[in-house]
Amino acid sequence: MKQVSEKVVSRLIIYRKYLKELLADGQKSIFSHKISAYTGASAAQVRRDLMNVGYNGTPVKGYNIKDLMTSISEFLEKENTIEVAIVGFGNLGKSIVDYCNGRNSRLSISAAFDTDPNKINRVIHGCHCYANTEMETIIKENKVEVAILAVPREDAQKVADKLVACGIKGILNYSPTRLQVPANIYVENRDMLMALEKVAYFANNVHGGKNK
């Protein structure tokens, strides 16, 4: 399959979210310039991005929303469900499970890991919580490929090393530290404070408005 850039993947994910909302509103088709207005990408960019997923609209009707969503999903996700584990099952971990599970049928957070004996071997928010010591077994048995890191800063690197050793290929890192990982591991950092700092800056400085 064609290799595309991070920016294209990020935009495809945004397009799909928008299409889902439109479909829920009962809309059937859409033109690239409408998708453009929602996402901030130019209409030409939208058309180029969508060519990557092998789906083309028609000049008269635009894109069929349902078909386009299917094409984007086939491009982004494999046929089998991608198994995800979360490490650190505190408030953040629980809210991520609540937020994500059930919203994408091909992604499932099916295992959580924590060191707290009150959580271990319990199903919390629909997710089985295991001891950190069971990580290798569970990740291998369940073919987990992606991990979400929601542990305190001081534990993050140690846990990341363990996850990589277990064969994890991608990490969504909510711990406020930069991880050292091999070059073939994909890490996406989500520092919540940095997001807040950005909003605080623009709330206090004149700008043209932005809502993507």
Beta-bridge partners for 84: 109, 146
Token digits of residue 91: 């408030």
CB of 136 to a copy of itself, least distance (A): 18
CB of 35 to a copy of itself, least distance (A): 13
Binding of a copy of itself at residue 118 (CB under 8 A)?
Answer: no
Beta-bridge partners for 194: none
Binding of a copy of itself at residue 202 (CB under 8 A)?
Answer: yes
Angle of helix 43-52 relative to helix 32-39, nearest 10 degrees?
Answer: 100
Angle of helix 65-76 relative to helix 6-24, nearest 10 degrees?
Answer: 140
Residue 87 burial by CB count (10 A; 0-12/13-18/19+): exposed, middle or buried?
A: buried
CB of 12 to a copy of itself, least distance (A): 9
Among residues 44 and 194, whose Cβ is nearest to a copy of itself? 194
Instruction: Write out the binding residues for a copy of itself, residues 93-112 only, by CB under 8 A.
Output: 94-96, 98-100, 103-104, 107
Applying CB under 8 A, among 77, 134, 136, 155 the residue interacting with a copy of itself is: 77
Among residues 43 and 76, whose Cβ is nearest to a copy of itself? 76
Instruction: Write out the binding residues for a copy of itself, residues 3-32 only, by CB under 8 A.
Output: 3, 6, 9-10, 13-14, 17-18, 21
List all residues 6 or more positions away from 75 whose beta carbon is below 8 Å from its beta carbon: 1, 12, 52, 53, 54
Among residues 70 and 189, whose Cβ is nearest to a copy of itself? 189
CB of 133 to a copy of itself, least distance (A): 24
Supply the DSSP symbol for 134.
Answer: G
196 vs 107: CA distance, rounded Å? 27
Instruction: Write out the binding residues for a copy of itself, residues 134-193 only, by CB under 8 A.
Output: 145-146, 148, 168-172, 176-179, 181-193
